[in-house]
């Protein structure tokens, strides 16, 4: 008998660890041993029946996970019969508990809650472990029903019971689900923190469902690549574990991730596979969810709207109702009607749509606003359409503002991409250039339109950054030919930990509204400045210009042509930065650069812009990386590149800074860096130079919040994959964007006399990230940096002239234009980002 009990415990722990097929095999061994024992000792029939019933309950769960609802229910009926034969009240409670769990996993939440409530009535008859598991299961149902207060109560009680009684597997799952409750409440940083704490528990439990649920949180945050990575890990584990319900849910989540990435074919593939698996398992509610995703993915395909419309009508008829009961189905039906030109039918479908749920995820709320705006536009109700889009904009902006992490905020912009595009189309249809300008500005660089109220300070993050600096220096100092595989893996792990730690930091922030063109006109006129704001629609580059008070919409060229030209220009700039380039080759590359800059100018600068006026450029995608001051029409002129016109306007000074506090910091490995920072410091009355041996990352981070102007002459690296790990090389290790504290005002003007640090990486949704963009987001008014490699001698000469002009009261953009000597064979690809900055020394 002792061996049977040992096998029963082993089977339960095997199931808890996420290995149901293995658990089933162990149960069958126990049942065979029990049958042999019962044959030899028939007088103990009641005891055997009770033990057998518990074994059948364990087997029921294993077979449900592997084979589906029907098989699991069959085993439960056998268990209940054995329980009744032995008068086992505890087993009856467990049968209700497990039947409820099967029903919730199959999508029948009301029926599952009935079963759990029946089991709760027998709670005191259960063992402590089973009590904790029952509370965990009922809490999960409340979670899926959106009853978050009830869910938290059950889950917290379960976690505490598991902690006090040494049941780590149940504690892990309860804390995991508490994190999911925070996700459903919309608090993504708290949710990610709870997931991290659950994962930190030292318990042998499969992380497959943890990876799945964490991916759902990451998708809501817009971190799609990270979500896909988490889903891939979940899928691999679930395939091994043969947990087919969860594996089907993972396919569905991958389909939803593909939808957000705009990959309709991949979304259809994953959702169709999920639907097939749910159908095999009789998970009808989950099958319906897979249909919703599959229909949404099919709307853009040829014949898709008609097919989706037919399938939705069939599903409604099969359900015996007059209209869809799922709001998402109604929205997709309306989209299908709209695509088919059936505007009246789309309007009718939306008229029957109930109010939004209080716990709907951000993506669902924005989808509702998108569809309602699209239908209103088709019906000619443009005021209604614009109102829906503004509500969607406000919803997204408020959600972004809640998060401290710039990485997370920029990622969330992916949820607003389709709304921004619809807003732009409506503005273009109005034939009002100012409306087009305002539309672009509303959605431009939303993640950077935020004011932090209580920025956090985090010792754990600081410690991780210190470790990363050490590892990065170890890699850099490794002798040629030696392996760096181990420190590289450590570096990648630390970068991942730093990103994830910062995602979980919280503070209170508020979103700043965008400016309208009517508010922008007076400062533009006062400064005799033009603006050009670019956008891409249907793969074509276009722009809105404001020059001499007149606003125009300018059609341009295919985006692919501009992207190819810019890539060639960047390659030529990098080549010309090399000191050892032979003169004949330098002449050939210079000729190529001159030719491509002329072509780039023709593509980007319409004739409506004045040839001699200061210019504010509001770029899209990689246009921030254009060497604007090197275009022939812009040489010697004031050109400022800003993430948005709103940012440019808010960054303007009321008056020039008088006698600014200036620090110039040198990094190692640059022969002229020491001379450069000494010359810069000598230019200013309140200037101070920091030699390379003393320029540590921590001291520079402090200097960035204690001076008005910070000049940095050092090697720089733009990290395309993780832009916030773009770095400035200093003595003792690099400085990253994550190093900059946000509990003090950043320097108004930062000059990065370093390679590549003006580069940005576009993210899905249109936002960009990079060290320069991070500095601007953290409060700098103006950043001067290079968009490619730059020769040391050229950088030194350009920066010396730049500061000499700046110190006489010339603003930063004009000073940079005048400082460049125009020698294309030794180019100075520096750009003035943000707003202009002025000082009087």
Which of 126-140, 374-388, 670-684, 724-738 has the lowest average pLDDT? Answer: 724-738
Q: What is the pLDDT of residues 582-613, one digit of tens each?
A: 999 999 999 999 999 999 999 999 999 999 99
Which range has the worst mean pLDDT, 318-332, 403-417, 533-547? Answer: 318-332
Task: Report the pLDDT averaged over residues 727-752.
Answer: 86
User: Is 50 exceeded by the pLDDT of residue 453?
Assistant: no
Tokens, residue 206: 């499969």
Looking at residues 776-800, what average pLDDT do you find? 93
| For residues 275-294, average pLDDT | 91
pLDDT tens profile 261-277: 999 999 999 999 999 99
Q: What is the dihedral of CA 503, 443, 252, 321, to 10 degrees?
A: 130
Buried b / exposed e across 722-735, counting CB within 10 Å, b at 16+?
bbbbbbbbbbbbbb
pLDDT class of 42 with cuts at 50, 70, 90: low
Residues of the chain with pLDDT > 90: what percent?
Answer: 62
- With tokens 């935020």, the residue in question is 450
Dihedral (C-alpha) 670, 827, 722, 480: value to the nearest 10 degrees? Answer: -40
Gyration radius from the chain CA atoms: 31
**Residue 118 clears pLDDT 80, i.e. is over it:** yes
Lowest-pLDDT choice from 343-347, 372-376, 681-685, 755-759? 755-759
The pLDDT assigned to 43 comes to 52
Give the tokens for residue 246.
């969860």
pLDDT tens digit string along 661-713?
A: 999 999 998 899 999 999 999 999 999 999 888 878 888 888 999 999 999 99
Least confident stretch, 66-80, 259-273, 779-793: 66-80
Residue 499: both structure tokens together: 């990103």
Cβ atoms < 10 Å from Cβ of 624: 25
Where does the pLDDT of residue 159 fall: very low under 50, low under 70, confident under 90, or very high at 90 and above?
Answer: very high
Using pLDDT thresholds of 50, 70 and 90, give the confidence band for residue 456: low
- Confidence check: pLDDT of 384 > 90: yes
pLDDT surpasses 50 at 460: yes
pLDDT at 743: 63
Residue 154: what pLDDT? 96
Q: What is the pLDDT of residue 40?
A: 55
Q: Which of 98-107, 375-384, 463-472 is most confident?
A: 375-384
**564-585: per-residue pLDDT in tens?**
999 999 999 999 998 888 999 9
What does the pLDDT average to over 109-126?
92
Can you tell me the mean pLDDT for 484-512? 87
Range name among 4-18, 553-567, 595-609, 716-730 with the lowest pLDDT average: 4-18
Under the banding of pLDDT at 50, 70 and 90, the label for residue 560 is very high
Q: Could you tell me if 365 and 412 are in contact, meaning their C-beta atoms sit under 8 angstroms apart?
A: no
| DSSP assignment string, 489-504 | HHHHHHHHHHHHHHHT
Distance CA 827, CA 628 (A): 12
pLDDT at residue 454 is higher than 60: no
Q: How many residues does the chain have?
A: 841
Query: Tokens 């390679």 belong to which residue?
Result: 755
Residue 97 zone, left/alpha/beta (φ > 0; ψ -120 to 50; rest): alpha
Nearest to 495 by CA among 246, 172, 841, 226: 226
Report yes or no: 60 and 79 within 8 Å, Cβ to Cβ: yes
pTM (two decimals): 0.86
The answer to whether residues 742 and 780 touch, using CB atoms and an 8 Å cutoff, is: no
Q: What would the two tokens of residue 645 be?
A: 């016109």
746-757 average pLDDT score: 91
Give the residue-averaged pLDDT of 557-567: 96
Q: Are 584 and 571 in contact (CB under 8 A)?
A: no
- Judged by average pLDDT, the poorest of 207-216, 268-277, 357-366 is 357-366
Average pLDDT over residues 95-115: 89
Torsion-angle region of 773 (φ positive above 0: left; ψ -120 to 50: alpha; else: beta): alpha
Q: What is the pLDDT of residue 354?
A: 81
Look at residue 352 and give its three-state secondary structure: coil
């Amino acid at each position: 008998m002792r061996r049977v009990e040992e096998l029963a415990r082993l089977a339960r722990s095997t199931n808890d660890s996420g290995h149901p097929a293995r658990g089933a095999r162990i149960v069958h061994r126990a049942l065979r041993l029990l049958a042999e024992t019962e044959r030899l000792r028939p007088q103990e029939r009641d005891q055997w029946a009770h033990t057998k019933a518990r074994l059948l309950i364990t087997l029921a769960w294993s077979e449900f996970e592997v084979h589906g609802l029907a098989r699991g229910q069959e085993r439960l009926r056998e268990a209940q019969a054995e329980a009744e034969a032995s008068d086992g009240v505890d087993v009856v409670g467990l049968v209700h508990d497990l039947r409820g769990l099967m029903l919730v996993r199959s999508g029948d939440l009301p029926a599952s809650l009935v079963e759990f409530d029946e089991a709760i009535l027998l709670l005191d008859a259960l063992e402590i472990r089973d009590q904790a598991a029952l509370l965990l299961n009922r809490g999960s149902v409340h979670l899926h029903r959106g009853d978050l207060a009830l869910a938290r109560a059950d889950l917290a009680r379960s976690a505490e019971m598991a902690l006090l009684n040494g049941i780590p597997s149940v504690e892990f799952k309860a804390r995991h689900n508490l994190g999911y409750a925070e996700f459903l409440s919309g608090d993504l940083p708290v949710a990610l923190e709870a997931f991290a704490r659950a994962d930190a528990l030292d318990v042998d439990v499969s992380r497959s469902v943890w990876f799945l649920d964490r991916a759902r949180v990451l998708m809501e945050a817009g971190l799609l690549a990270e979500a896909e990575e988490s889903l891939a890990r979940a899928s691999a584990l679930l395939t091994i574990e043969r947990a087919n319900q969860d594996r089907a849910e993972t396919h569905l989540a991958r389909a939803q991730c593909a939808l957000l990435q705009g990959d309709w074919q991949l979304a259809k593939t994953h959702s169709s596979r999920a639907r097939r698996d749910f159908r095999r398992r009789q998970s009808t509610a989950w099958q319906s969810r897979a249909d919703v995703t599959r229909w949404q993915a099919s709307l853009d395909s040829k014949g898709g709207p008609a097919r989706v419309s037919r399938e939705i009508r069939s599903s409604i008829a099969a359900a015996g109702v007059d209209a869809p009961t799922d709001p998402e189905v109604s929205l997709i039906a309306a989209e299908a009607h709209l695509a088919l030109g059936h505007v009246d039918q789309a309007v009718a479908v939306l008229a029957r749509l109930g109010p939004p749920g209080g716990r709907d995820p951000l993506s669902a709320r924005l989808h509702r606003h998108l569809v309602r705006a699209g239908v209103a536009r088709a019906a000619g109700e443009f005021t209604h359409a614009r109102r829906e889009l503004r509500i969607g904009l406000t919803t997204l902006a408020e959600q972004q503002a809640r998060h401290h992490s710039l990485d997370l905020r920029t990622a969330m912009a992916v949820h607003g991409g389709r709304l921004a595009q619809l807003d732009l189309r409506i503005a273009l249809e109005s034939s009002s250039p100012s409306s087009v300008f305002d539309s672009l500005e509303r959605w431009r660089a939303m993640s950077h339109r935020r004011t932090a109220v209580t920025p956090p300070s985090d010792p754990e993050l600081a410690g991780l950054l210190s470790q990363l600096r050490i590892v990065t220096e170890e890699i850099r100092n490794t002798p040629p030919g030696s392996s760096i595989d181990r420190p590289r893996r450590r570096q990648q792990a630390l970068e991942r930990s730093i990103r994830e730690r910062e995602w979980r930091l919280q503070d209170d922030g508020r979103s700043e509204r965008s400016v309208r063109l009517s508010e922008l006109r007076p400062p533009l006129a006062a400064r005799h400045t033009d603006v050009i704001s670019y956008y891409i629609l249907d793969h074509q580059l276009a722009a809105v210009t404001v020059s001499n008070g007149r606003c125009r919409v300018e059609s341009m060229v295919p985006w692919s042509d501009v992207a190819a030209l810019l890539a060639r220009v960047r390659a030529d700039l990098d080549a010309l930065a090399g000191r050892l380039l032979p003169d004949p080759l330098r002449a050939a590359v210079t000729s190529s650069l001159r030719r491509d800059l002329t072509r780039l100018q023709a593509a980007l600068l319409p004739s409506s812009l004045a040839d001699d006026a200061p210019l504010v450029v509001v770029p899209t995608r990689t246009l921030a990386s254009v060497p604007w001051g090197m275009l022939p029409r812009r040489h010697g002129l004031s050109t400022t590149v800003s993430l948005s016109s709103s940012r440019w306007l808010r960054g303007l000074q009321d008056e020039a800074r008088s006698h600014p506090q200036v620090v110039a910091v040198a990094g190692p490995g640059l022969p002229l860096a020491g001379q450069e920072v000494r010359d810069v410091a000598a230019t200013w009355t309140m200037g101070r130079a920091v030699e390379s041996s003393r320029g540590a990352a921590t001291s520079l981070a402090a200097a960035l919040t204690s001076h008005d102007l910070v000049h940095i002459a050092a090697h720089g690296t733009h990290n395309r994959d993780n832009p916030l790990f773009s770095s400035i090389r200093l003595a003792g290790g690099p400085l990253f964007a994550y190093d900059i504290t946000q509990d003090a005002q950043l320097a108004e003007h930062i000059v990065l006399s370093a390679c590549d640090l003006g580069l940005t990486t576009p993210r899905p949704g249109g936002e960009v990230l990079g060290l320069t963009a991070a500095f601007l987001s953290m409060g700098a008014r103006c950043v001067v940096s290079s968009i490619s490699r730059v020769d040391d001698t050229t950088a030194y000469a350009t920066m010396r002239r730049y500061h000499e002009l700046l110190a006489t009261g010339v603003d930063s953009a004009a000073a940079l234009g005048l400082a460049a000597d125009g020698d294309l064979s030794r180019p100075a690809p520096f750009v003035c980002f943000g707003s202009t900055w002025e000082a009087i020394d």
